[in-house]
Amino acid sequence: MKVQFSEIFKQDSVLKILVLCIVTLGCYLIFKLYLFSAEINHNTELTISKTFIAITILMFSISFVSLVYSLVNLHEPHILKGSIGFHVISSILDISWIVMVRNRINVIAGANKGDKNWLNPYITSLFHVVYMQYKINQSLIKP
């Protein structure tokens, strides 16, 4: 039996997500990606590897903590230079995760390029989970 889009995703406030992403300096973005992935993994066969998710969260955490530590110790630029590798790896993993979630939402919604519910890759790359939630909300509204 095929699970309906409305049984997987729930409506949420786009403004709340935007504010939380800003206030938490991007940490909520990772949390929301985790929630989307958990919903996808629990309700479909289009799973995202739990190992990949764990590694991505770990690298984001290391990158975030090292960035905060570098900013606190701004007078020591070698600390920031030493953590650039973590930032690059974390960014690559974050982008990969965003693309995975976007592609799966498009498949679950049955959306093709140009459709109302299709997640545009360029807008997704700019607004991440805020745009994803906006499109999910739009898809859940009955015509």
pLDDT in tens, the chain (143 residues): 456 787 889 999 999 999 999 999 999 999 999 999 999 999 889 999 999 999 999 999 999 999 888 888 878 888 778 888 889 999 999 999 999 999 999 999 888 898 888 999 999 999 999 999 999 998 888 65
Q: What is the pLDDT of residue 2?
A: 58
pLDDT at 143: 58
pLDDT, residue 72, reads 87
pTM here? 0.89
CA–CA separation, 79 vs 84, rounded Å? 9
**CA dist., res. 33 & res. 98, Å (int):** 7
Q: Given this model, what pLDDT does residue 6 score?
A: 78
State which H helix or E strand residue 23 sits in.
Answer: helix 14-23
Domains of the chain: total: 1
As a whole number of angstroms, the distance between CA 94 and CA 110 comes to 24
